[in-house]
Amino acid sequence: MITEIAVVDGPLFEEIAVSAWPQALSLSRPDLLRAQALVGGEWRSAAEQFLVLDPADGSTIAAVADCDAAMALAAVEAASAAFVAWRETTAAARAAILRRWFDLVRANAEDLARLVSREQGKPLAEARGEVAYGAGYLEWFAEEARRAYGDLIPSPVRGRELKVVKEPVGVTAVITPWNFPVAMIARKIAPALAAGCTVVAKPAAETPLSALALCALAQEAGVPPGVINLVPTRRAAEISQVWMDDSRVRKLSFTGSTAVGKTLARQSADTLKRLSLELGGDAPLIVFDDADLEVALDGLMKAKFRNGGQACVAANRIYLQDAIYEPFVARLVDAVAALTVGPAGEGPRDIGPLIHDAAANAMERLVQDALAKGARVLTGGQRHPLGGAFFQPTVLTDVSPDMDLCHQEIFGPIVALGRFSDEDQAVDLANDTPFGLAAYIFSTDARRTHRVAARLDVGIVGINEGAVSTEVAPFGGVKESGYGREGSRYGLADYQNIKYVCVGGLD
Ligand code: NAD
């Protein structure tokens, strides 16, 4: 299919829309299918392109500009030049632009969902949910832009005024993963723009199309040239090195693996950038004897199987108290065995393919390791008959801490079941990890949930709830899950510097 693609300079990719997506991706606005970088308000080609593949069958969806260091530098120059005027715009003007962007995303939500679903692999219904979730950040920060209040501090000396004002940090580098390609980029760019920052952004190479479409809508909403620059590439390290070395880039907001987050933190040290790092998770999910088992099952299914388990807040280790172990596992196995698996798109489907074959190989290795160390498969346990990147929804029992899946993010549809006898043991097991993003507790004893929530070393706790993410609440971790918060009223502060102004001689 790729040989039919001739477009490099035009903004549209009509050939692809017609020829390579025969199953009718059918965008109502084909012009949202972009294949170039957005730099300084212009759509720019690169010398080379890379292919975006459908994870369901490896077929080509599109060929996209493979940007290099020179393009990364051009993006910084554009963002730096645009910052001069953007920081001077009123909060009300920035809010109005973000609001228009939100309206356009809502109006084009179905097209965005189709792009997400196709390039990332999640079922269309879930992709629609992601687009609505991502749009929520645009709306929220359109509102928060107008509330960037400062302070007036009572002066200890007569005749002085002590003011605190909030200023934009400056040019912000944004690097995002493939698992939520619209939501992750929206929840970084929206607060950056609200605060008055300009952005250089790099989407994951697996999923650039929805990010490009999102930025095309930003342009349409009136975001001025250079305020958002988006650089697709498969040369992540080359691009990020340019951004980390450049002292004009004052902040990095990164979501991705802990290993890459640490590398970027090291690289940013020489220019002492502000950092927001949303990194890997290893969420424990604890079901106590006194839990409502229906509620716990519903919560576990949501916390584990959203996006096929490819979520940073996905429940990674499940701990069941002794008395409910057998009855809960029986219900769980029925629910997991009933999950439907298939390619992205319409249809009664719960789980799509993993992002690529390597991810399915990783699932296979985790299961083999667990079986060799004494675990048992209750359902699934193998690659799915659909082949490629599909993996069967799986339940493993008799899981013990020496198994690999207890120490690393599974990032796939495997439920790993362990057991505990009392509250102290549950807390010790839950905290026995270098990560600290999310945790889930199921119990009908309010005093217990209060106690346990306070003892868990994480940034997010779900109590009798498996779906906790929302733009109105702070999202982020502790320990090696990173630092910084996204969403909520705390999310804007990550993009602001505090300036103290002392005015003397007023008496
Ligand atoms: P990843 O770290 O491999 O990639 C994330 C981003 O970094 C991508 O854009 C990638 O191209 C880029 N990248 C990769 N190597 C790089 C390098 N050497 N220098 C600069 N950039 C580089 O992670 P992934 O596999 O795409 O995403 C999954 C990870 O993201 C998981 O660990 C997951 O928990 C984490 N995640 C965290 C959150 C959160 O909010 N805490 C949310 C979603 C995903």
Q: Is 178 in the pocket of ligand 1 (CB under 6 A)?
A: yes
Q: Which residues contact 336 (CB under 8 A, 6 or more apart)?
A: 301, 379, 380, 393, 394, 395, 415
| Beta bridge partners of residue 65, listed in sequence order | 49
What was the pLDDT predicted at 407?
87
What was the pLDDT predicted at 349?
86
Q: Whole-angstrom Cα distance, residue 236 to residue 256?
A: 12
Nearest alpha-carbon partner for 193 in 234, 139, 260: 139
Over residues 27-68, the pLDDT tens digits come to 999 999 999 999 999 999 999 999 999 999 999 999 999 999
Single-letter code of the amino acid located at 78: A
What was the pLDDT predicted at 212?
98
Give the helix ranges, DSSP H, for 46-182. Answer: 69-86, 91-107, 109-120, 124-144
What was the pLDDT predicted at 459?
98
The yes-or-no answer on residue 278 being catalytic is: yes
Band the pLDDT of 6: cuts 50, 70, 90.
very low
Mean pLDDT in residue range 451-472: 98
The yes-or-no answer on residue 312 being catalytic is: yes
Band the pLDDT of 26: cuts 50, 70, 90.
confident
The Å distance, Cα 175 to ligand 1 centre, comes to 8
Over residues 177-187, the pLDDT tens digits come to 999 999 999 99
Is the pLDDT assigned to residue 269 strictly greater than 80?
Answer: yes
Q: Is 185 in the pocket of ligand 1 (CB under 6 A)?
A: no
Is the pLDDT assigned to residue 488 strictly greater than 50?
Answer: yes
Is the pLDDT assigned to residue 14 strictly greater than 90?
Answer: no
Q: Which two structure tokens, joined as six digits, stand for 60?
A: 């080509």
Is the pLDDT assigned to residue 468 strictly greater than 50?
Answer: yes
Is the pLDDT assigned to residue 404 strictly greater than 50?
Answer: yes
Q: Is 281 in the pocket of ligand 1 (CB under 6 A)?
A: yes
- Homologous superfamily of the 19-148+169-279+485-496 domain (CATH): Aldehyde Dehydrogenase; Chain A, domain 1 (3.40.605.10)
- DSSP 3-state of 454: helix
Q: Between helices 91-107 and 208-221, what is the axis angle to 10°?
A: 130
Write the CATH number of the domain with boundaries 283-471. 3.40.309.10
Is the pLDDT assigned to residue 17 strictly greater than 50?
Answer: no
Mean pLDDT in residue range 498-503: 98
Over residues 328-374, the pLDDT tens digits come to 999 999 999 999 999 987 677 899 999 999 999 999 999 999 999 99
The Å distance, Cα 261 to ligand 1 centre, comes to 8
Poorest-confidence range of 137-141, 223-227, 407-411?
Answer: 407-411
Is the pLDDT assigned to residue 399 strictly greater than 80?
Answer: yes
Q: Whole-angstrom Cα distance, residue 331 to residue 337?
A: 10
Domain ranges of the chain: 19-148+169-279+485-496, 283-471
Mean pLDDT (the chain, rounded): 94
Instruction: Please check whether residue 328 is in contact with residue 293, taking contact to mean a CB–CB distance below 8 angstroms.
Output: yes
Domain 19-148+169-279+485-496 identical in fold to domain 283-471: no
Q: Which residues contact 347 (CB under 8 A, 6 or more apart)?
A: 123
Over residues 132-151, the pLDDT tens digits come to 999 999 999 999 999 999 99
Q: Which residues contact 463 (CB under 8 A, 6 or more apart)?
A: 440, 441, 442, 443, 449, 453
Give the helix ranges, DSSP H, for 306-422. Answer: 322-337, 357-372
Report in angstroms the alpha-carbon separations of 106 from 178, 192, 387, 404.
Answer: 21, 20, 35, 42
Band the pLDDT of 9: cuts 50, 70, 90.
very low
Mutation to probe ligand 1, out of 119, 207, 257 (largest number of atoms < 8 A from CB): 257
Instruction: Please check whether residue 331 is in contact with residue 293, taking contact to mean a CB–CB distance below 8 angstroms.
Output: yes
* Residue nearest atom 28 in ligand 1 by C-alpha distance: 256
What was the pLDDT predicted at 465?
98
Q: Is 70 in the pocket of ligand 1 (CB under 6 A)?
A: no
Nearest alpha-carbon partner for 69 in 248, 239, 243: 239
* Residue nearest atom 42 in ligand 1 by C-alpha distance: 312
Instruction: Please check whether residue 187 is in contact with residue 486, taking contact to mean a CB–CB distance below 8 angstroms.
Output: yes
What was the pLDDT predicted at 209?
97
What was the pLDDT predicted at 1?
27
Is the pLDDT assigned to residue 23 strictly greater than 90?
Answer: no
pTM for this model (two decimals)? 0.95
